[in-house]
A and B are shown apart, each in its own frame.
Chain A
Amino acid sequence: MAYVAIADRDHHLHDPQTFITKYIYSQDHKVIAIQYGLTAIFVGLIAMALSVLMRLQLGFPETFSVITPEEYYQYVTLHGMIMVIYLLTALFLGGFGNYLIPLMCGSRDMVFPFMNMLSFWVYLLSVLILLSSFFVPGGPTGAGWTLYPPQAIAPGTPGIGAGIVLMLLSLAVFIVAFTMGGLNYVTTVLQARCKGMTLMRMPLSIWGIFVATILGLLAFPALLVAAIMMLLDQAIGTSFFLPSMLTMGEESVQSGGSPILFQHLFWFFGHPEVYIVALPAFGMVSDVLATHARKNIFGYRMMVWAIVAIGALSFIVWAHHMYVSGMNPYFGFFFATTTLIIAVPTALKVYNWVLTLWKGDLHLTVPMLFAIGFIFTFTHGGLTGLFLGNVTVDLPLSDTYFVVGHFHMVMGVSPVLVLFAAIYHWYPKMTGRMYNEMLGRWHFWLTLLGTYSIYLPMHYLGFLGVPRRYYANGVTDFMPDSVQNANAGITIAALVVAATTLIFVFNMIWSLFRGEKADGNPWGGTTLEWQTPQTPPVHGNWGDKLPEVHRWAYDFSVPGEKQDFIPQTEPPHEGVVAGREHGVHH
């Protein structure tokens, strides 16, 4: 069969010879994954530092004179863009996608290793372009992370010169990098699975990454189109997005463009982007929960279907980000309906996670703690999403801190908790060592409680009508003094969480050298990556022979078995007929 030929094709193995080809220009998916991951975490820490600066300004206004209003908006913009695209997208797909797809599917590498390597280097280039905007005249763009025109390129906004140009260029370059990587992920999942690994035997991590990548491939072009067009508007004075307007008392050169068009393009990308981040998180958290609860995932087939359904629906909800831009009421009605429908498969997943825990043999390891924490934060963030999905509720809340609270709960904290869970879960496999358990627990509890202290109060601020995007609130009639106290408290919590993240970084680096040696399968995992002959897996992953898969990924605590897990590679036991056993239900 052709699939064996591809998965086992030897001349694709490009064995690395020197230090450079092994660790720098490597075509090995595991090295590329780590390169992606480290770069993403590095820019993520920068974005976190920016958020700390923002919080200092909001919590203690008029204390930090070094933060000007212009800089504040630049921090907002870069914080948002880096976190959503350069950290979350890159780490979930470039990092974990790269690491897990070949290992969990039982292949030796990605199908196009050279393109895979190129993907990382182009990604790095996009990051460098982005960071270089801090050092150009006028600084980075301060247009807000959605970069809405006309203000993104109209006088009065910080960074309308080199700043916005570099931002758009960097996005275009990132999309090229993502496309190269994404074609690899999809094709590898489709073509290079080992013998016996049918689609419905794939672990949910792979399902999440797979569907998210398809979303990315279809949605990122919209951002590319928007970026190219705005680049032309800015650089050579076309008028795609610029209407005629008075800026600084003068009539603008450009006219006739449509700012709303940009919003449609941006959100046609932007909403699927939410699920490009969320679906891999859904998948990976499912695997972490099942493994540490020693129980099969509840409703595997429904979980797969929910991932696919959410992916499909995510393309027809984008205008719920634009209710305040004004639209035909029927249009709003349609998008409110689709938005609420998407809650059905999502809620189904939450129920299934909880039911996976039900009567499980819970091992409260650090990854498990993070995974359970995710169920809480995601449910809270998701419920407030239902508020905002309704047009009439969204209109008064849209420009308040309620949105900031909702968004960070569902798209900030939740995926990040899964990332932490995933990093702790696969750390022994990636490094061959265990992390420090005590530091990990501190990290979890401080992060969970800290982020709740940050974002829960924001919902109340939102109900009071405290506007988001403001550099300072000043004195108003509708904001009581307690608003300022809440802001100060939020800032203190943010400082604690930021410091806690440094504990995590320390733990990862320290454990790399001083951590206890881990064996190949410390959690009793069933999926293929835990069955590699070496830990960490070496080049080519599987030694001489590719694995063969005989069962699904969730044979935990099967009655009558000696161990509480059966690896996917384990053949059916004697007496059990191989193949389908019709009419047998567990």
Chain B
Amino acid sequence: MVMQRAHNLWVPFVTLLIAFMLSALPMLEWVQWGWPEWVLMVFLYWVIALPQRFGIGWAFVLGLLLDLLQGTHLGINALAMVVATFIVILMYRRLRMYRVWQQAFVVCVLVVVYQCITYWLQGIGSNASSGFWFLLPAPISGLLWLWLFVVLRGIRRAFKVA
């Protein structure tokens, strides 16, 4: 019985590890500006698919890891992740009903929220500024969602992650 009820929970963590690696990949400067928020997107997929397993607690942990990886002040990415996850948990049932492009739009808005929080909190102690270009990853993340959603759904079904 126990064997049958394996949930294959290692699968989401592997996808998250890959997302972490993608987010830390060294890039050309102009690519960096539009580099999507991989960790956020992959995590949001798993929240929508398995809300009973992935919630605000994990969002907090992953956000802290992102802070460590990117060298931002501890808690900045964590707060942004927690806020985005909270919004998704409030509406994941509706999100499941949406078409993929509608989801992509929501993801785009969530990335805007995420970027605003991290950018502003980082801006408190810094003097870099560049208009609204910091929001560029949002539409790109939205577009990418169309592809990422299909891939992650395929992975989830193939490994029967529950």
> Are A and B part of the same complex?
no
